[in-house]
Chains A and B, each alone.
Chain A
Amino acid sequence: MRPILLQGHERSLTQIKFNVEGDLLFTCSKDNFINVWFSHNGERLGTYAGNNGSVWTLDVDPESRFMISGAADNTLRLWAVSTGKCLYTWEFPTAVKRVAFNEEGTQVVCITEQRMGHQCAIRVFNINKDGDGTNQSKEPLYMFNPIGSKATVCAFTLTPNVIITGHESGKVALFNVKSGEEIDNNERAHSDVVTDLQLSKDRTYCITSSKDKAARIHDTKNLMVIKTYNTETPLNSASLAPNRPYILLGGGQEAMNVTTTSARQGKFETRFWHKVFEEEIGRVKGHFGPINTIAVHPGGTCYASGGEDGFVRVHHFDDSYFRSKPYGDMEIMD
């Protein structure tokens, strides 16, 4: 099917996310805005305005009631999804690089940048769901500074109060947010910055992408590397396709080097890899710049990619995608 081109941002995309049902697609960009779209036709539902800097990251709670965003203006904001109102703003000394809700939507974890003498910090906030949501506590529930390489991505695991993080050095680690203690780590998970970390539906495993051109599936319990996908380009994002044994990888020549290399060198394609066999099975072209972020519909019916070129492309899968069995009749669990 023809992809739907979402032209609502003026600068490059930083993160995109579907809500739990998959009917809404949230996109944030360096142009300071967050947009929400209907995923089935690409119609824009609204804009969340108010940030004074690049919006680096966002997440939606499981009820699609609240949305949380982190931006370069050093703020973490809680928004009402339906009205577009900013309900609460937390301020920090440095920019917020990553946010994530827990499974129930009751807690939020955020990573703030290491800059201007401030260390990289991980904070966890409780979200008060009572009332209209404007009554939030200012102070974080927990806060700690990870020692060593700074964290770039994070997510809550199945175990309460345990988060999984990806680091600038390529390390993947498990932290207890209560004590700030590092429970487990895999120093050699990647050899360069971890750029994305997305969880499986049941949060038992996750996929990470890195500038070292590889993506890996890790067990979130013991950080064991289950699968490795080696590509020929630095990766910015990796996503798991539900119900089908595929993963989607996006990346490309780094934005700062794009002008010095030809388009064929860029490799600005979304790559489909087989999750179990670690083989590339296809590519989807379209972006003019590196792909910064990829998200797959929770039902596995479509996917979206956001690029450095400022566009979001939503691709609905054709029937053949669901019917085809390129590797024979083998039952592969999700």
Chain B
Amino acid sequence: MPDTTAPDGGPLLVVDGLTAGYNGVPAIRDLSFTVGAGEVVSVLGPNGAGKTTSLLAIVGLVPPMAGSVTALGRPVNVRRPHELARRGVLLVPDDRGIFPGLTVRDHFRLAQRRQDPAREAAVLDRFPALKGLLGRRVGLCSGGEQQMLTIAKALLGRPRVLMIDEMSLGLAPKIVQEMLPSIRALAREEGIGVVLVEQHIELALSVSDRGVILNHGRVVLEGAARDLLAHRDQVEAAYFGADEFAGSDVPGGAADGGAGGSGATSAAVVAS
């Protein structure tokens, strides 16, 4: 397993007891995990488990109700989400965070605080398909090209932590199979801490160091990726054990989906 700590010894991203939600109703409760340099962590779970909310809460786009997020050794100011991006904690949202009316070149310019031709050339070498598209409006690019641009512009921002929400959404499985390993390689080469939110369990775990499985807004299972892959039964139980976890003591019942859930008080940990 690669080194999971930042150069100064601590993890790059520490999420501690994070609770967040909408209109006063928590969608994630007491979420804790860490990401070290060069480490890839998969956040998995069924629909409505709170995966996207977790990422948005980490960067402050969904205001947290409790808990804290520490990025690169400093606490995150949730009132100024744009500052986090400047510090190198980048979130690629599920709409890919792109601007359809701007050209690929515009995106590259926006992504770099200081223009760095060498870096740009290096990133373009990684995604050669983008070379011919620099002048094209992104709205006219294909889904695969847009996803490549998304990753490329994130890399141009020299991220220390990169969080990607549902990269596989709307993409052909073949493209996903090509892109996930390249992210794995990037994390290792540049020491980036990567968080992947995915629906596709096996594909995500196959490129990850660790996995965190959410259900009903809580961590129900976590462990090393290879252990999770080896214990499919436990993973499936965590996914489909929804009825067991949606406690009857929750007002409003289990029909609300991600809002409730209280049965599981602590996350199961797969022995490694």
Q: Do the two chains bind? A: no
Which A residues are within 8 Å of any B CB, using their own CB? none
